[in-house]
Structure 1
Amino acid sequence: MKYFIADTHFFHKQLLGNNDFAPRPFPSVEVMDQTMIDNWNARIADKDEVYHLGDIAMAPGNQPGEAQVDQILNQLKGQLILIKGNHDSRALFKYIDKHNYDVLPGKPKFRFADVGVLMKFDHAQYYLTHYPMMMGIVHQIYNLHGHIHHNMVPIAEDINVGVDAPERDLLAHKLPFGTPLSEAEIEEIYQKKAALLKKLAAQQK
């Protein structure tokens, strides 16, 4: 199966506690990171593909080394397709690729995309990018993205898959923090976001 996530921000201690950007109610970075690892692994198997849409890790003023980030990523189950975010470096991707391996026969643990990925499922096209795309009027074309932590792009087809994205609140069943989204959950978010935006537009008339 295919799953989607973004903006894990491993090591990012400045997000701990209450803030206006991306509050994370954990007592320490170690607890936050382990919680995301545990919740990821509770859902994902090595046969699954997980698209990570950028901003893997961050520690302002003291960037974690490539080896530290690689160690975190190797604790996560599945085959990871890493799309570069604004806080990810090409040096990191080169380091991970240098130490890459097959998680299953012929299935590398890591694959990489510098800008984004185009994929199809459920008779629709999905553009997977770190930054949200302004696509205009579209039909069965969706943008899965990250980057924005605390509000929604007011377009139903733009779906934030970040760990702390407000779109996750639209799901009927709340996911534990750090859980990648399934294809079915992406569709549920789209349907509910479209209905919500339609309702808000009607209220403004």
Structure 2
Amino acid sequence: MPVWFTSDTHFGDSRVLRIDKRPYTDLAAHDAALITAWSAVVKPEDEVWHLGDFALGPSDTRIAEILASLPGTKHLIVGNNDGPGTLHASDWTSVSHYAELTVDDRRLVLCHYAFRTWNGIGRGAINLHGHSHNRLKPIPRQYDVGIDAQGPAPVSLAAILTSRRKRTAAHKSVEP
């Protein structure tokens, strides 16, 4: 079963258009594009870990509608902008502040926030987080899975692990 990761979708939160300069004309276009991107990669039998800040602003009913429209078995790692409407939406399989799991034989530590150190760091464990909106310089084995870092669709662990190598190679190719 494929496992996907994402964070900081901020459905219904107009601040992301201004603060994060997301490339959408308005909030309706933003939300529709994220729903379309999610639905294009995630199948109903897939597992998705959303690392916080799912929605802020829409009614509890609208949050539940958005969540129900997204395919997959969905887990929420709580973010600082996740209110009662998000936390109590019935389509979450689990809601927690922290999780540890193994995907593709890699030990993962999941939290909305980036850590300086984490359980298993000395044994190769990887920290996946959101919150920083691609503004935090990562340390080794730490990855921002938010849409501002990885794009609008949930991403696989393999894509996350190669994302930094691709950015590093692109950066080196433009240096004199």
Q: Normalising by structure 1, report the TM-score.
A: 0.74
Which whole-Å CA distance do the structure 2 matches of 1:146 and 1:132 have between them?
Answer: 7
The question of whether the paired residues in 2 share the 8 Å contact of 1:22 and 1:150 is answered with no
Identity in percent: 32
Q: Give the aligned CA root-mean-square deviation in angstroms.
A: 2.1
1:118 aligns with 2:100: yes
Q: What residue ranges of structure 1 are gaps of 5+ in the alignment? A: 101-109, 169-176, 200-205
Partners of 1:157 and 1:190 within 8 A in 2: no
Which residue does 2:9 correspond to in 1?
Answer: 8
CA distance in 2, matches of 1:50, 1:7: 14
The residue correspondences of 1:106-145 to structure 2 (distance < 5 A) are 110-135=92-117, 138-145=122-129
The aligned counterpart of 1:189 is 163
For 2:134 and 2:154, locate their aligned partners in 1 and report how far apart those are by CA, in whole Å. Answer: 18
> 1:154: how far off?
3.0
Distance 2:33 2:166 in 1: 27
Pair 1:44-2:42 in alignment: yes
- Which of 145, 169, 178 aligns to 2:152? It is 178
State the structure with more CA Rg: 1
Query: Shift of the alpha carbon at 1:192?
Result: 5.3
Aligned to 1:33: 31
Task: Measure, in 1, the Cα distance between the counterparts of 2:38 and 2:85.
Answer: 25
On the 8 A contact 1:5/1:180 being kept in 2, the answer is yes
Q: Which runs of 4+ in 1 moved over 6 A?
A: none
Tell me if structure 2 keeps the 8 A contact 1:53–1:85.
yes
Q: How many residues align?
A: 167
Where in structure 2 are there 5+ consecutive unaligned residues? none
